[in-house]
């Protein structure tokens, strides 16, 4: 009967769906090399970090910036995030809304406090906001050490931790130093470097000189603990 057919269809379809795509987290690195267009890199950083207040699997989670431009990049990013208006999404002009629940904000507080305890400096934000709602101020952290939790765990909040590197190999090691591999972002004007970096990054997707990777025409998915399979595009 129809019930039996339906049960058979469900029994067949469920594993097929799991085989097509399973996405399990991101911890996306955002790399800025010394030859990058800084205006474009800051624009891309804001877009990649603040999408849905950072509560997105593709949100940039950790920023690795060449030592020679780190101060300027950090200053510009802090100015941009610090100028964003926080409040209810139903109010005109609001750019940053609340986090999804109290536990989400508590984790953001823990990660920022841990980074500061280990020596990171707060350039802007760094605190939960008073009043109703689970608001956290857009935050930029500078000189974040490699052992800070904020570089190893998904933040899912409006916090941009910045660490530095001196060589391309060092940047790739830092970017790949995670069990996850959904998406990476990289900014450089050197085409040879771009191809080396793309080939060296252990992620399913790379945003090259852009802070948005989702595209209906392109396959979406990750590697390592960020799942397997693809959705979207011809491959999906």
What the block records as the tokens of 19 is 């085989």
What the block records as the tokens of 156 is 């899912």
Annotated active-site residue 57? The verdict is yes
Which residue in the list 4, 34, 55, 57 is annotated as catalytic? Answer: 57
Rg of the chain over all Cα atoms, to the nearest angstrom: 19
Query: Which residues share a beta bridge with 7?
Result: none
Which residue in the list 23, 101, 170, 199 is annotated as catalytic? Answer: 23
Q: Return the H-helix or E-strand segment holding 46.
A: helix 38-50
Residue 145: half-sphere exposure toward Cβ, Cα within 13 Å: 10
Q: Is 191 exposed, middle or buried (0-12, 13-18, 19+ CB in 10 A)?
A: exposed
Q: Which residues are catalytic?
A: 23, 57
């Amino acid at each position: 009967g129809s019930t039996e057919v339906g049960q058979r269809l469900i029994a067949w379809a469920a594993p097929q769906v799991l085989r097509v795509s399973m996405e399990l987290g991101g911890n996306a690195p955002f790399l800025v090399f010394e030859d990058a267009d800084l205006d474009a890199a800051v624009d891309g950083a804001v877009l990649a970090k603040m999408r849905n207040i950072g509560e997105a699997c593709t949100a940039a989670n950790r920023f690795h910036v060449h030592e020679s431009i780190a101060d300027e990049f950090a200053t510009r990013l802090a100015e941009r995030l610090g100028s964003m208006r926080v409040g209810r999404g139903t109010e005109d002009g609001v750019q940053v809304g609340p986090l999804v629940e109290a536990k989400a904000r508590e984790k953001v507080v823990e990660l920022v406090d841990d980074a500061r305890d280990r020596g990171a400096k707060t350039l802007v934000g760094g605190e939960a906001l008073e009043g109703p709602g689970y608001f956290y101020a857009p935050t930029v952290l500078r000189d974040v050490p490699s052992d800070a939790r904020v570089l190893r765990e998904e933040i899912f909040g409006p916090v941009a931790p910045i660490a530095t590197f001196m060589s391309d190999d060092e940047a790739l090691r830092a970017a790949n130093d995670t069990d996850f591999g959904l998406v990476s972002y990289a900014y450089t004007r050197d085409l040879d470097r771009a191809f080396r970096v793309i080939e060296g990054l252990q992620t399913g997707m790379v945003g090259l000189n852009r802070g948005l990777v989702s595209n209906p025409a392109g396959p979406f998915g990750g590697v390592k603990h960020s799942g397997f399979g693809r959705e979207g595009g011809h491959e999906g």
